[in-house]
Structure 1
Amino acid sequence: MIEVTKLSGRVFYVNPHQIEYITANPDTTLVMLSGKHLVIKEEYETVFNKIVEYRKRIGAFKNEE
């Protein structure tokens, strides 16, 4: 799970495997596989880096190193 912040300031956690795509126009929006849209404070680059770190932590990149 990765930590993200809603525009209201509420912190919550998202399973990055459930993110279908991310838009940034102008607010960063996570579009989930369920179709739900989550507007967050973090910039795209921050979310991207959190996803990469999460995948490294769980060993998803083992065969790519």
Structure 2
Amino acid sequence: MIKIRRLNQSELVINAELIEQVEATPDTIITLTTGKKIVVLESSDEVVEKVIAYRLACIKPVVAIKPTDI
């Protein structure tokens, strides 16, 4: 899940796994796999950074486990 802000400054948490594409028009538009579009304040680069941070956080616990720990 990533936290983003709508144009009216309200916070929204979305499932990063459902992001299909991010468009950088004058406004940033996130399209979900469901077809829903969300216009956000963050730039497309910021959205990508948040998704990368989310995915790294998801795999970090797995990477931290050593084969000898299993």
Normalization by structure 1: what TM-score? 0.88
Unaligned regions of 5+ residues in structure 2, if any? 64-70
Give me the whole-angstrom Cα distance separating, in 1, the residues matched to 2:32 and 2:3: 15
Match of 2:54 in 1: 54
TM-align CA RMSD: 1.2
Unaligned regions of 5+ residues in structure 1, if any? none
Cα drift, residue 47 of structure 1: 0.6
Query: Using the alignment, how far apart are the partners of 1:25 and 1:44 within structure 2?
Result: 9
**Aligned pairs (5 A) from 1:4-43:** 4-43=4-43
Q: Which runs of 4+ in 1 moved over 4 A?
A: none
The separation in 2 between residues aligned to 1:52 and 1:33, in whole angstroms, is 18
User: Aligned partners of 2:8, 2:26: CA distance in 1, in Å?
Assistant: 16
Query: What is the TM-score normalised by the length of structure 2?
Result: 0.82
Q: How many residues align?
A: 61
Q: Write the distance in 2 (CA, Å) between the matches of 1:57 and 1:34.
A: 24
Percent of matched pairs sharing the same residue: 30
